[in-house]
A and B are shown apart, each in its own frame.
Chain A
Amino acid sequence: MKQTFINKELKESCAFYQHKSGVKIYVAEKPEYSSAYAIFGTRYGSIDTAFKRREQQEFITVPEGIAHFLEHKLFESEDGDAFSRYAKTGAMANAYTSFDRTCYLFSCSSNFEESFRILLDFVQNPYFTEATVQKEQGIIGQEINMYDDSAPWRLLFNLLNALYHNHPVKIDIAGTRESIAKINADLLYSCYNTFYNLNNMFICVAGNVKAEDVFKIADELLRNTEPVYIDRARVDEPEQIVKSKVEMNLPVATPMFAIGYKETCESPTRTIKERVCTDVILKVLFGSASPLYKKLFDAALINDSFSAEYFYGHGYSSIIVEGESQQPEKVYDIINQEIESVRKNGIDKNAFESAKKSLYGSCVSVYNSVENTVMSMVSAAFAEEGIFDYTEYVKDMTYEDVCCRFENILKKEFSAISVVKSK
């Protein structure tokens, strides 16, 4: 099935092809650009630690960090690695693993077809041996060391451990040196055969390409496989947080803080309406034009690293406010007071209108770059939403929607603060 989505106001379009292998393919042609950017991704990330295929009886629990490990290993094949193949096309290739997805990507301004063939080929052809697995344990061990030293990274995971009792979002994406030591070739194949089934995957391409060319190569190289139905083990995550404060010592100049407001999730995923309204609320409440920002800034309690984001994925969602301050606790108090005061007095209508425009502006600006275009396509593909739905909803949302949303979020009783400071 093929169709094309067009957004006249944005002057953008996107071709869609539901391939018979199960892969969903999205292509945004941008002939006026020199380069192209492609992602082949799967719904598989660090939170997928306990699962089974529907025909299997028992859930299997795999070592923490295995999705990321698998990403590293997939670049290898019996006759050399994917990087050495890309070296012949000039493309810049990479991959990343997040909480809920693994993506393989490349960007190029020539030889798109050859690079795209390499991408489709190596992701579909795993090759793991005990020897190569062992070698990788050394490299990833180094990567974990680097994350151990990263104050922002520790700050985030300490916070997630304070907010979540059981949800695997609290575990480090790369795992630990101990957990990755348990990984072997068999386990890797088992994860691969479950999550790299083409029905669980998507391809997004934007830039100087023709959709028909992309589809043709996909037809040629994507293998038809029996669909796999994946059951993820249910996580019982209580509404309550684990603890309201967590602190760690690392060499940083100014103490860093991250404040998290855990949201109670009745369904595992967040709707566009919930996301858009939350983004606007964060802008109104914490943006640099907000009264709160002025209050904190004038009192020298924050610097320009202050920011707020909506952090969500399958089965978890929180609002995270972070920054640097000599008095993180005081910042936390003032933020909670401000939230209460806005609850009492309502959201400022002018601030809502400006925040809406600002959010719309950032949605449009996404299409400035092929990379950001692909990233937004990946998010939409992942959430099974239309490519332009988020932007369209930004235009349509009302003040009432936002007020209604505000009632359900930013609850002090479900919040925690994480601090990293020097000894």
Chain B
Amino acid sequence: MDQFKKVDLASGVEGFSICTDRFKTSRISVNMFVPLRKETVSANALLSCLLTRATRKYPTYTHLNAKLDELYGAALYGDVAKVGDMQMLKFVIAVLDDKYTLNGEVISGDATELLLSMIFDPLLNDEGLFDEKDFESEKRLLVERIKGEINEKRIYAIKRTEGEMCKNEPYGLPKYGTLEDAQALTNADVVNALKYAVDNAFIRVNVISESYPEAVFQSVSEFFKDKKRTVTQKDITKKHIPNDELIQISEKMDVTQAKLCMGFSADFNDDLQSRINARVTADLFGGGPYSRLFKTVREEQSLCYYCAARINLKKRILMVDSGILEENKEKAYNGILEQLSVLQQGKFDESELLASKMALMDSAKTVCDTPAELDGWYTAYALYDTAVTTDEFVEKINNVTKQDVIDIANSIKLDTVYFLGSENFEKGE
């Protein structure tokens, strides 16, 4: 059994360590949570990449990457993600454990220093700004990344549905902001985003390593020693408020396969058991190959290549997405609603519920088997008051009954329908 430990490093700054000798690498992640806001969403996105471009010691991207190669190909990256109505800036370094280096080099210290200096002692010029050239290149990349969101139609369709469904809530913002937001960014905006994150974000530092994480934690505490921090709200997330009328959006593009996305609102309490009841319901609806959508809409009716459901437990949003022949739009739409009604009326077998529970329990237990998944699991619980171990999760899944599923299913209401068809498809059909 791995050993877990949570420590307070400063006001609103937590350290969380998982001590294990299972892996060949150590992984450190610094996770900073700030409210999702239209004004700052793009600045944070740019910040998450810009910080990983250079450090004081390795002032160019080329220097920095040569150093990473030197550290046996250590992986260093930054990114942003939406966690409910919060935006998470995540910075990670994953480096080979010292005992596996070829000539006995000690590389863990350098790796830790790289990550922490990048965030807490970043390379700024005399005016307190980022290098202008680095800023401009990273801005170009962000703009291209935002434009590139249409490349993957499946993801694009889901994002569009979420955006429309939650247009009056922070969660409706795109994770990198809009093209206009990104193009309008200034160097000072990004410096302000950094200052805000350091002074006001709730921060969680995770260390997954064989050796004791004390050195990492000490460096972080040291940095915050004389700093005043105010974390006003750890998490501002509110559940999605269902739209008064059904929202229907139709879009055309040069595509062969059409996409149909249906966003539903759900309602359940915030305690762990209720959240897990909802997770099981969504999985039984459209998770694995045993799920209703897979078995009927895909396999029996051959209406789509994929048809899946997933749930956002913080926002209480259930999203069904499918890839279909466009002439099957109505059939697929009705087929999906029919399966929801099967759940609502409890017309499913205990054996189906059991299959879903077993699959979820099984996959929860595999979380401990990769550093990235372990990191992701405990980061996801950072905003809740207590961390949930995979064992506790498994136990709660075991408790879910048929009636629990029926109750959750009956709280699910269709909210938004999005359809992406080809140029030839009749709009509003």
List A residues at the B interface (Cβ < 8 Å). Answer: 9-10, 32-35, 83-84, 86-93, 107-110, 135, 138-139, 142-143, 145-146, 148-149, 151, 207, 249-254, 283, 287-291, 293-294, 297-298, 300, 303-304, 324, 351, 354-355, 357-362, 364-365, 367-370, 395, 423
Contacts and interface: CB of A to CB of B under 8 A. Distances in A.
A321 B324 CA distance: 33
27 contacts: A34-B366, A84-B289, A90-B355, A92-B288, A135-B302, A139-B302, A139-B305, A142-B305, A142-B324, A145-B256, A251-B253, A252-B148, A253-B144, A254-B144, A254-B147, A287-B65, A288-B61, A298-B137, A303-B140, A303-B144, A355-B69, A357-B69, A358-B73, A361-B72, A367-B24, A370-B369, A395-B102
A35 B77 CA distance: 27
B371 interface: yes
Interface stretch (B180-188, B356-364, B401-409): B356-364
Given A109-B362, A146-B305, A289 B62 contact: yes
A104 B149 CA distance: 32
A367 B100 CA distance: 12
Contacts of B366: 34-35, 107, 109
B72 A142 contact: no
Contact of A33 (B22, B151, B254, B298): B22
Contacts, number: 173
Question: 4 nearest interchain CB pairs?
Answer: A361-B72, A90-B358, A358-B73, A253-B147
Given A87-B290, A361-B96, 6 more contacts: A34-B368, A35-B365, A142-B257, A289-B66, A294-B61, A367-B24
B288 A142 contact: no
A371 to B, nearest CB: 8
B194 interface: no
Contacts of B369: 33-35, 207, 369-370
A246 to B, nearest CB: 18
B370 A110 contact: no
Nearest to A86: B289
Contacts of A355: 69
A86 B254 CA distance: 38
B74 interface: yes
B46 to A, nearest CB: 13
Given A142-B324, A354-B70, A253 B355 contact: no
B: contact size bracket: 35 or more
A358 B368 contact: no
Contact of B66 (A135, A139, A304, A354): A354
Contacts of A368: 23-25, 370-371
B150 interface: yes
A325 B41 CA distance: 26
B325 interface: yes
A255 to B, nearest CB: 11
Interface string B46-90: 000000000000001110011011111110000000000000000
Q: Give the interface centre of B68, B141, B151, B361 by most chain A CB atoms within 10 Å.
A: B151
Interface in B359-408: 359, 361-363, 365-366, 368-371
Given A142-B304, A303-B140, A365 B25 contact: yes
Contacts of B148: 252-254, 324
A117 B65 CA distance: 47
Interface in B137-159: 137, 140-141, 144-145, 147-151, 153
B362 A253 contact: no
B254 A250 contact: yes
Nearest to B99: A11
B255 interface: yes
A95 B358 CA distance: 20
Interface in B9-57: 21-25
Given A89-B358, A324-B144, A365-B96, A358 B153 contact: no
A399 B254 CA distance: 49
Interface in B111-154: 133, 137, 140-141, 144-145, 147-151, 153
A139 B325 CA distance: 11
A236 B152 CA distance: 37
A288 B362 CA distance: 38
Given A297-B137, A364-B96, A34 B147 contact: no
A339 B137 CA distance: 25
B302 A357 contact: no
B286 interface: no
Contacts of A367: 24
Contacts of B370: 368-369
A90 B362 contact: yes
B323 interface: yes
Given A142-B323, A289-B65, A149 B73 contact: no
A90 B74 contact: no
Contacts of A92: 288, 359, 362-363
Contacts of B102: 357, 360, 395
B137 A87 contact: no
A151 B151 contact: yes
Contacts of A287: 65, 69
Given A145-B305, A148-B256, A149-B255, A253 B151 contact: yes
A304 B140 CA distance: 11
A43 B249 CA distance: 46
Nearest to B2: A32
Contact of B323 (A32, A146, A283, A297): A146
Contacts of B289: 83-84, 86-87, 93
Contact of A361 (B73, B323, B365): B73
Q: Give the interface centre of A86, A324, A358, A365 by most chain B CB atoms within 10 Å.
A: A365
Nearest to B105: A357
Contacts of B150: 251-253
A287 B66 CA distance: 9
Contacts of B72: 357-358, 360-361, 364
A88 B145 CA distance: 42
A182 to B, nearest CB: 19
B365 A109 contact: yes
A146 B305 CA distance: 8
